[in-house]
């Protein structure tokens, strides 16, 4: 007998267990129906039940989802179908922004309705829909004619969420460290929503919100699907977005020319955060593609512009790039000094991403001179920060969640 029906008459629980072939997910969903097992079995089985004869495992799970849906209140049904636009785990704030339209559902009532769906086992405790529930809800969403409208709302809400995270982490000077980490974790937790929203932006031809989302997500260290980075710029974008699109596209392709075009366009309007991002990207792409002279030129310009613009994060990115060059040239002392400067800048800016990147560089320098104990010490200092941000715990080697976050993450 399933543990979901402890306390019910044994014969009723066993009957339902047999009807559902003991499928754990089907039984868990049945428990969320808040009916006695005998009533659930009656509604599912029999001549006019929801469960077709000779139903396979998938059909049995879907039948229980259908019953759970029938038992929901009208507003709960509306919320469930609208939640189908979410690709993974979401939070109550984002659910309210996407699903609360001020008409059928008000934003303020979404959190309470969401908790009722959790109680009904149709939404998991971490606020996500299981695959079979999402498929069922998506069918209801299409039937209601709301699919395109909800996906537009999802794109705009995810874009707004990432832009808020970017503003709070990258631009707010006096935000407490704990708050910055909270926004970093939120950005990473919503990565699946970012992918889904960008896919819809490409499909709907929504260049501006798609590119705004792509640059904000990339600035937060969240990798965007290459297809979106390839296709969104071709849809057209105005002003600064077009220049940022060139930087994003060049980085996605590993090609110098689009990045250079983006930087030249951005600097025509004077210094901005995104120019610092573009400069950092240009430096790295130029050196990676065998254009060191151009890379050094952009590195000098980045240092001057970031210092004049008081952009501590971009300046830290420049120090790290200069330290990388020093280490490649065998100048360990200079590389250590650059990484130390970047660490101080990261602490002054209050940006844990910069601190992690600088500590990893210090570990690389220590490794290069045979100081394994020092390398382990620096990595040990970075590890709790990386975990706090929701990043991967591995800190050996390069490219594992540190340097790609500096200078806006591009």
Q: What is the pLDDT of residue 49?
A: 64
Q: What is the pLDDT of residue 399?
A: 38
Helix (H, G, I), strand (E, B) or coil at 397: coil
Q: What average pLDDT does the segment 329-341 reach?
A: 96
pLDDT at residue number 140: 96
Overall average pLDDT of the 48-71 stretch:
81
Cβ atoms of residues 356 and 382 within 8 Å: yes
What is the reported pLDDT for 211?
93
For residues 318 and 306, the answer to whether their CB atoms sit within 8 Å is: yes
Cα→Cα distances 120→4, 5, 75, 123, Å: 13, 14, 14, 7
Structural tokens at position 347: 């602490």
Q: pLDDT value at position 197?
A: 98
Contact between 206 and 218 (Cβ < 8 Å): no
Say what the pLDDT of residue 4 is.
Answer: 58
pLDDT in tens, 276-331: 999 999 999 999 999 999 999 999 999 999 999 899 999 999 999 999 999 999 99
Taking only the tens place, the pLDDT of each residue in 247-277 is 988 988 889 999 999 999 999 888 888 999 9
Could you give the 3-state DSSP secondary structure of residue 249? helix
- What pLDDT is stored for residue 6 in this prediction? 60
* pLDDT at 406 (0 to 100): 40
The 10 Å Cβ neighbour count of residue 398 is 11
CA triple 270-276-281, angle to 5 deg = 130
- Residue of 143, 407, 96 whose CA lies nearest to 280: 407
**Dist CA 37 CA 39 (whole Å):** 5
Long-range CB pairs of 228-232 (<8 Å, 24+ gap) are: 228/198, 228/199, 228/201, 228/202, 231/202, 232/198, 232/201, 232/202, 232/207
Q: Which is more confident, 186 or 24?
A: 186
Residue, of 97 and 408, whose pLDDT is higher = 97
Which tops the pLDDT comparison, 376 or 252? 376
Which residues are CB-neighbours of 142 under 8 A, at least 6 positions away?
none
Q: Assess whether pLDDT exceeds 90 at residue 381.
A: yes
Residue 409 has pLDDT above 60, yes or no: no
**What mean pLDDT is predicted for residues 384-397?**
64
Q: How confident is the model at residue 76 (pLDDT cuts 50, 70, 90)?
A: very high
Only one residue has tokens 């705004």, namely 212
The mean pLDDT value for 127-140 works out to 95
Q: Whole-angstrom Cα distance, residue 154 to residue 84?
A: 11
Choose between 396 and 383: higher pLDDT: 383
Indicate whether 123 pLDDT > 50: yes
Which residue, among 279, 286, 251, 284, has the nearest Cα to 265 in the 3D structure? 279
Mean pLDDT of 196-218: 95
Cα–Cα distances in Å, from 409 out to 77, 178, 323, 380, 402? Answer: 40, 20, 18, 23, 9
Provide the pLDDT for residue 407.
43
Overall average pLDDT of the 334-339 stretch: 97
| pLDDT (tens digit per residue) in 360-370 | 999 999 999 99
Indicate the average pLDDT of the chain: 87
Instruction: Evaluate if residue 1 carries a pLDDT over 70.
Output: no
Lowest-pLDDT choice from 112-121, 154-163, 373-382, 395-404:
395-404
pLDDT at 269: 86
Taking alpha carbons only, the member of 378, 355, 357, 354 closest to residue 366 is 378
Which is nearest to 89 in space by CA: 118, 50, 49?
118
What's the pTM value of the predicted model, to 2 decimals? 0.85
- Within a 10 A sphere around the Cβ of 76, how many other Cβ atoms? 18
Tokens of 165: 């995270």
């Amino acid at each position: 007998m399933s543990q979901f029906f402890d306390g019910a008459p044994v014969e009723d629980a066993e009957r339902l267990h047999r009807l559902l072939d003991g499928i754990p997910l089907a039984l868990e969903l049945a428990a969320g129906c808040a009916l006695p097992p005998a009533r659930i079995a009656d509604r599912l089985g029999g001549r006019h039940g929801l469960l077709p004869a000779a139903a396979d495992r998938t059909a049995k799970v879907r039948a229980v989802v259908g019953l759970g849906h029938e038992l929901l209140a009208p507003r709960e049904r509306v919320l469930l179908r609208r939640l189908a636009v979410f690709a993974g785990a979401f939070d109550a704030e984002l659910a309210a922004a996407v699903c609360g339209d001020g008409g059928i559902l008000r934003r303020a009532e979404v959190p309470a309705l969401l908790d009722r769906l959790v109680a009904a086992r149709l939404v998991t405790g971490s606020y996500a829909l299981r695959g079979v529930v999402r498929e069922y809800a998506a069918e209801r969403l299409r039937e209601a004619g709301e699919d395109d409208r909800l996906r537009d709302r999802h794109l705009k809400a995810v874009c707004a969420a990432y832009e808020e995270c970017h503003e709070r982490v990258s631009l707010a000077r006096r935000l407490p460290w704990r708050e910055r980490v909270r926004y970093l974790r939120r950005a990473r937790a919503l990565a699946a929503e970012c992918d889904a929203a960008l896919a819809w932006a490409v499909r709907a031809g929504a260049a501006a919100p798609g590119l705004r989302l792509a640059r904000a997500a990339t600035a937060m260290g969240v990798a965007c699907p290459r297809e979106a980075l390839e296709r969104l710029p071709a849809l057209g974008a105005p002003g600064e977005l077009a220049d940022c699109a060139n930087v994003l596209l060049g980085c996605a392709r590993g090609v110098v020319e689009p990045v250079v075009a983006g930087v030249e366009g951005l600097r025509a309007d004077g210094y901005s955060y995104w120019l610092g991002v573009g400069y950092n990207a240009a430096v790295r792409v130029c050196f990676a593609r065998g254009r060191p002279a151009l890379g050094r030129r952009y590195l000098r310009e980045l240092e001057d512009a970031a210092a004049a613009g008081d952009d501590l994060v971009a300046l830290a990115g420049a120090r790290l790039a200069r330290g990388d060059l020093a280490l490649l040239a065998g100048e360990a002392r200079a590389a250590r000094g650059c990484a130390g400067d970047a660490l101080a800048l990261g602490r002054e800016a209050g940006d844990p991403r910069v601190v992690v990147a600088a500590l990893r560089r210090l570990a690389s320098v220590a490794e290069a001179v045979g100081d394994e104990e020092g390398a382990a010490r620096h990595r040990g200092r970075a590890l709790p920060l990386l975990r706090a941000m929701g990043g991967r715990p591995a800190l050996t080697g390069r490219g594992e969640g540190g340097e790609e976050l500096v200078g806006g993450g591009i």
